[in-house]
Amino acid sequence: MAAEPPPRDPHLRRDGAWVGASVPRREDPRLLAGRGRFVDDITLPGMLHAQFVRSTEAHADLLAVDLDEVRATPGVVAAYTAADLDLADITAELDRPPHEFVPTAMPVLARGKVRYVGEPIAVVVAKDPYAAEDGVEAAVVEYAPLEPVVTDLGALAEDAPLVHAEAPRNTLVDVSLFATEGIDDVFASAPVVVEVRSKTGRQNALPLETRGVVADWDDRDEQLRVQTCSQVPHQVRTVLARCVGLDEKQVRVTVPDMGGGFGQKCVVGREEIAAAAAALRLRRPVKWIEDRRDALTAAFLAREQRYTVRAAFSADGEILGLDADVVCDMGAYSCYPFTAGIEPLMASAEMPSVYRVPAYRVRGRAVTTNKAPTAPYRGVSRPQYVMVVERIFEKAARALGMDAVELRRRNVITVFPYTGVNNITYDPGSYLESLDLCEATLREEGWFSRRSDDNKVIGIGFACFSERTGYGSGAFAQRKMQVVPGFDLSEIRMDLNGTVSVTTGTLSHGQSHETTMAQIVADRLGVPYDRVKIVQGDTDRITYGWGSFASRSITIGGSAVAAASVKLGDQLREIAAHLLSGDPEAAVLEDGGVRVGSSWLSYADIADVAYLKAHLLPKGVGPGLSATASFDVGGDGTFSNATHGCVVELDPGTGGVEILRYVCVEDCGVAIHPQVVEGQARGGIAQGIAGALFEEVRYDDAGQPLAPSFMEYKVPTAMEIPDVRIEHLETPCAFTENGAKGAGEGGTIGAPAAVLNAVNDALRHTGVELDDTPIPREAIFRALETS
Amino acid sequence: MIQLMELTVNGERHDLAIEPRRTLVDVLRHDLGLTGTHVGCEHGICGACTVLVDGAPARACLIFAAQVEGAEIRTVESLSPEGELNDLQQCFSEHHGLQCGFCTPGMLMLAEGYLAEEPEPTTEEIREVVASNLCRCTGYQTIVEAIDDCASRRRAAFQEQLAGSRV
């Protein structure tokens, strides 16, 4: 039975490891050949197409919805209002007292009242998408308009109309946290106090593939089968089952290839529930594909926040305290499962950032307005509070007459683990090292001398930050979520010829998990990574999962996959040792088999016994080769970190900002696939630059969205996004299975701060300081004009 | 109203009976089953639906199928008919020029059309062309690098061919 192992794969890293090697992505061949399978690529026999009658009013009582003409439209098969479908509402709650959190319900279709332009009122189902749109146009909706609430300050006004009757002052979340004893004295006696007031624009995460779903009832499986582009299939299952009144086992949610998500797809959408409910009612497949106009106006948005933050410093530049007020405009509804608390609670908990802040007080609020609701978006609040804190360091440096990088050096956390004033313990990172390397890189490249060129308006800006990536159950429980994400569960199986399939509760939608998770398994079992199949995005095949968000996939999902692999490896060693009459303790997984002393047995041979010759198995070992493992983060999680450095040149003629250079020094612990990590950083930085300079979802005073197409919502192209130089540092995480920290969000987090600081640095001679994003070009123009 | 028309896609002729308002991209995807071409905005900005019409990149979402009767249409499916990735696709993979892959077919057809017209572009020229389309994942750098690399390889191959023919 014993044989010789096959030759090694040339892609392996020199030390024989798959982890750390930038191997070809498993995802690429099908995506490049146009053979991926996205939701809109799916066609089922007899399939119908849904579109939605949407509110044209921002705030109104819904007096009547007349669908008679809709139903008479050629091609239309059915049209339903909320009353017709009678679905339970989507609700998400926090375990917080009423003065801290007001629960509100999001109906699947509007009932009695509409709260934003674009809110779905009725679903129209037709034989083809064109007819569905014809049907939508035939709907007659009668509104009694109410005064809309369109700004955060308007929402908080004493006499403001109420978006939800149950939420006084339109406040859904209001928490006051930490309030270190004596903080007022700290500020009263501090030699230097600086303040930043910043407003950040509402943004759309904007996956290039809009949201969409195909749903059908399957009589054979007695299941509502839902193929949807969601980052969180199990959560969709739960909400859908609850809304339509089915058992969990009667709903199967699968996720095909997904054209990005960035958080917009990590909450449960109303339209996917309504389309599935229509399919259930009609007993026919129903597809809904969101069009771009709806995606820009009625999908989940994010990032509209207002900060008022003061910081106290000693005369020699030591930060003494941080006092913050954060208001997040969460739009019309709380999202599932995160609630409207997602942004204010993130900002409040983590604002002290990478600095040793001894005193901290924060008030974080979520207000509801008549705008499309919000969801987590890549980085969640961190792009905003990091920007504010990094502005504080720039302002304090000016007030103190110090160099801003030097001021950061003096305050950055250098001794780990560090437990902050916010009760969070930070695991080891390279905060200071990244700052030093980033500055040195720009200096070596000559940017500091170019900055002094009097004929040009050039500025250099930095952002030093960390990013909690392994949010385990404990960390989410601290937020007092009723539904507490955190762990991941993995089931691994080896089949007859020694190939491996492994489930993950996470969900790749561009992050390359089919490759990187396979690399993790490959190292644990000693098989080539292309012998490992990753199974994801199927609620029937995966016991439970929390999907992919918050850079959790490799830290938590990757750890579960690794743990399952180890268990399977133990089984293989035990069986092989028995078959080779050796000691299981001396058995080593190697080259696609098990070596015991001088003998080697391939996995295919072991699997042959496990499945086809079970009588040869050791006593007490059952047939088959499979194992299950889970992973959760016990403590406060792990922190990736980075420093970004940005060089901009301003155009006095237009107020335009050109990014001349962008350097990112990042540390995500062990990089499973360095090329993928760099891709995440570059893509994240592009989205951060987009928020800093270009993108904003604006509304007029009546609550009408002003950016319903790509003509108004300005997504940056290759001409606006610079090349990014990336340098890697590696501080391995001590408690994830692979030493990896998350890498999905850091780019987005650092970029707004680096860009804004660079613009302000370029404006240093003007006396003008800008703290809002997107940075208004006319403000730059005026500042340069008057100087 | 239904209209009869004839469409040539990737060298294959198709007879269609469709509404005249049907866009080229919907015909390609839903009538011919060529789902490699994607729909990102339906108003001609994002370029996910880019195909070649008589060799030139075009937005399939802005064209009615009826407008391109008689033209030669090429979609992403034509790049690797036997399943083997072509040199451009290979370069995208090597440079990590795709993440979610949704914009990729449009980027590939854009580049394929452009390189056929301009085999010796500068990196800056490539960047300007890539700016025709949107990508939300990569930050564009690796797409530009992939196209640049492919152009170099094609030039090198061409030089080699020339050298070979001189012998």
Q: Tell me the CATH number at B130.
A: 1.10.150.120
Q: How many CB atoms lie within 10 A of CB B30?
A: 17
3-state secondary structure of A492: strand
In one letter, which amino acid is A37? R
As a whole number of Å, the end-to-end CA separation of chain B is 62
- Check whether residue B93 and residue B162 sit in a common domain: yes
* Span B82-94, average pLDDT: 96
- Check whether residue A517 and residue A599 sit in a common domain: yes
Among A468, A473, A462, A474, CA closest to A434:
A462
Give the end of a domain, one of B34, B63, B78.
Answer: B78
Task: Compute the radius of gyration of chain A from its Cα atoms.
Answer: 27
Q: State residue A426 phi and psi, 5-degree precision.
A: -95, 125
Q: Is residue A169 part of a domain?
A: no
Q: Do B43 and A262 touch (CB under 8 A)?
A: no
Query: What is the rounded CA–CA span in Å between residue A416 and residue A410?
Result: 16
A641-699 pLDDT per residue, tens: 999 999 999 999 999 999 999 999 999 999 999 999 999 999 999 999 999 999 999 99
Crossing angle of helices B141-166/B104-117, nearest 10°? Answer: 40
Q: Do B134 and A717 touch (CB under 8 A)?
A: yes
Query: What is the rounded CA–CA span in Å between residue A377 and residue A704?
Result: 22
Q: Tell me the CATH number at A554.
A: 3.30.365.10
- Check whether residue A359 and residue A239 sit in a common domain: no
pLDDT at site A103: 96
DSSP labels, A387-413: HHHHHHHHHHHHHHT--HHHHHHHHB-
- Check whether residue B90 and residue B74 sit in a common domain: no
Q: State residue A295 phi and psi, 5-degree precision.
A: -65, -35
DSSP labels, A177-228: E---TTHHHHHHH-SEEEEEEEEE--B----SS--EEEEEEETTTTEEEEEE
Tokens of A446: 């000559």
Q: How many CB atoms lie within 10 A of CB B41?
A: 23
Looking at residue A690, the DSSP 8-state letter turns out to be I
Q: Do B98 and A32 touch (CB under 8 A)?
A: yes
A416 has a pLDDT exceeding 90: yes
A2 has a pLDDT exceeding 60: no
- Check whether residue A313 and residue A416 sit in a common domain: yes
Tokens of A767: 């006396």
Check residue B70 and give left, alpha or beta (phi > 0: left; psi -120 to 50: alpha): left
Q: Do B139 and A685 touch (CB under 8 A)?
A: yes
Q: Do A711 and B45 touch (CB under 8 A)?
A: yes
Tokens of A68: 């008679």
Q: Which B residues in the span 21-80 are in contact with A, Cβ-Cβ below 8 Å? A: 21-22, 26, 29-30, 34-43, 45-46, 48, 75-77, 79-80
Q: Is residue A14 part of a domain?
A: no
A1 has a pLDDT exceeding 60: no
A143 has a pLDDT exceeding 60: yes
Say if strands A656-667 and A639-651 run parallel, antiparallel, or are unpaired: antiparallel
Give the end of a domain, one of A607, A631, A655.
Answer: A631
Burial code of A66-105, b = ≥16 C-beta within 10 A, e = fewer?
ebeebeebebbbbbbbbebbebebbbbbbebeeebbbbbe
Nearest residue of A to residue B103 by CA position?
A: A208
Say if strands A171-177 and B56-59 run parallel, antiparallel, or are unpaired: unpaired
DSSP E strand stretches across A632-676: 639-651, 656-667
- Check whether residue A458 and residue A606 sit in a common domain: no
pLDDT at site B167: 62
3-state secondary structure A121-165: EEEEEECCHHHHHHHHHCCEEEEEECCCCCCHHHHHCCCCCCCCC
Q: Is residue A253 part of a domain?
A: yes
Q: In the block, which residue shows the tokens 């969180």? A: A232
B138 vs A206, A209, A682: nearest CB? A682
In one letter, which amino acid is A499? T
Task: Assess A156–B contact: CB distance below 8 Å, yes or no.
Answer: no
ipTM above 0.95, yes or no: yes
Give the end of a domain, one of B78, B95, B127.
Answer: B78
Tokens of A550: 């918050």
Q: Is residue A734 part of a domain?
A: yes
Q: Do A682 and B139 touch (CB under 8 A)?
A: yes
- Check whether residue A447 and residue A499 sit in a common domain: no
Among A480, A492, A486, CA closest to A517:
A492
Q: Tell me the CATH number at B10.
A: 3.10.20.30
pLDDT at site B1: 85
pLDDT at site A483: 86
Tokens of A503: 């489930």
Q: Is residue A272 part of a domain?
A: yes
Give the end of a domain, one of B78, B101, B133.
Answer: B78
HSE of A341 in the Cβ direction (CA atoms, 13 Å)? 29
A686-710 pLDDT per residue, tens: 999 999 999 999 999 999 999 999 9
- Check whether residue A510 and residue A378 sit in a common domain: no
Q: How many CB atoms lie within 10 A of CB A634?
A: 10
For Cα atoms A757, A690, A205, give the angle at the middle one, nearest 5 degrees: 130
Nearest residue of A to residue B79 by CA position?
A: A33
- Check whether residue A639 and residue A575 sit in a common domain: no
Q: Tell me the CATH number at A132.
A: 3.90.1170.50
Query: What is the rounded CA–CA span in Å between residue A551 and residue A741?
Result: 8
Nearest residue of B to residue A512 by CA position?
A: B99
Task: Assess B83–A contact: CB distance below 8 Å, yes or no.
Answer: yes
Among A204, A202, A214, A179, CA closest to A41:
A214
- Check whether residue B101 and residue B158 sit in a common domain: yes
Q: How far is CA A627 from CA A21, A254, A492, A567, A614, in A?
A: 26, 23, 5, 6, 17
Q: How far is CA A321 from CA A361, A411, A427, A595, in A?
A: 8, 12, 22, 59
Burial code of A222-241, b = ≥16 C-beta within 10 A, e = fewer?
ebbbbbbbbbbbbbbbbbbb
Percent of chain A at pLDDT exceeding 70? 99
Check residue A669 and give left, alpha or beta (phi > 0: left; psi -120 to 50: alpha): left
Contact present, A205 and A377 (Cβ < 8 Å) = yes
Q: How many domains does chain A have?
A: 3
pLDDT at site A67: 98
Summary mean pLDDT of chain A: 96
B21-37 pLDDT per residue, tens: 999 999 999 999 999 99
- Check whether residue B24 and residue B64 sit in a common domain: yes
- Check whether residue B69 and residue B135 sit in a common domain: no
pLDDT at site A470: 83
A7 has a pLDDT exceeding 80: no
Crossing angle of helices A431-444/A404-411, nearest 10°? Answer: 160
A84-126 pLDDT per residue, tens: 999 999 999 999 999 999 999 999 999 999 999 999 999 999 9
* Span A737-761, average pLDDT: 96
Give the end of a domain, one of A597, A631, A665.
Answer: A631
- Check whether residue A338 and residue A423 sit in a common domain: yes
Q: Is residue A163 part of a domain?
A: no
HSE of A84 in the Cβ direction (CA atoms, 13 Å)? 18
Long-range contact list for A152-160, CB < 8 A, 24+ apart?
Answer: A152/A304, A152/A306, A152/A327, A152/A328, A152/A329, A152/A367, A152/A369, A153/A306, A154/A369, A155/A329, A155/A367, A155/A368, A155/A369, A156/A327, A156/A365, A156/A367
A24 vs B93, B108, B138: nearest CB? B93
Domain extent at residue B97 = 81-167
Among A382, A427, A669, CA closest to A550:
A382
Task: Assess B20–A contact: CB distance below 8 Å, yes or no.
Answer: no
- Check whether residue B16 and residue B88 sit in a common domain: no
* Span A461-465, average pLDDT: 98
Task: Assess A444–B contact: CB distance below 8 Å, yes or no.
Answer: no
Q: In the block, which residue shows the tokens 């992050």? A: A511
Query: Which residues make Cβ contacts (< 8 Å) with residue A2, sequence separation at least 6?
Result: A580, A599, A600, A601
A197-252 pLDDT per residue, tens: 999 999 999 999 999 999 999 999 999 999 999 999 999 999 999 999 999 999 99
Give the end of a domain, one of A593, A614, A631.
Answer: A631
- Check whether residue B85 and residue B167 sit in a common domain: yes
- Check whether residue B85 and residue B166 sit in a common domain: yes
User: Is A598 buried (19+), middle (13-18) or exposed (0-12) by CB count in 10 A?
Assistant: exposed
Mutate to test the interface with A, among B85, B99, B104 (most CBs of A within 10 A): B99
- Check whether residue B95 and residue B160 sit in a common domain: yes
- Check whether residue A501 and residue A598 sit in a common domain: yes
Task: Assess A709–B contact: CB distance below 8 Å, yes or no.
Answer: yes
| Chain B contact set for A510 (CB, 8 A) | 99-101, 137
A9 has a pLDDT exceeding 80: no
- Check whether residue A611 and residue A512 sit in a common domain: yes
Query: What is the rounded CA–CA span in Å between residue A274 and residue A81?
Result: 10
Nearest residue of A to residue B129 by CA position?
A: A718
pLDDT at site B166: 74
Tokens of A545: 């999962």
Q: Is residue A3 part of a domain?
A: no
Query: What is the rounded CA–CA span in Å between residue A202 and residue A697?
Result: 5
Contact present, B73 and B10 (Cβ < 8 Å) = yes
Domain extent at residue A508 = 28-36+487-631
Crossing angle of helices B123-130/B104-117, nearest 10°? Answer: 140
Q: Do A208 and B46 touch (CB under 8 A)?
A: yes
Nearest residue of A to residue B91 by CA position?
A: A32
* Span A185-196, average pLDDT: 98
- Check whether residue A286 and residue A327 sit in a common domain: no
Say if strands A639-651 and A457-468 run parallel, antiparallel, or are unpaired: antiparallel
Q: Is residue A612 part of a domain?
A: yes
- Check whether residue A450 and residue A498 sit in a common domain: no
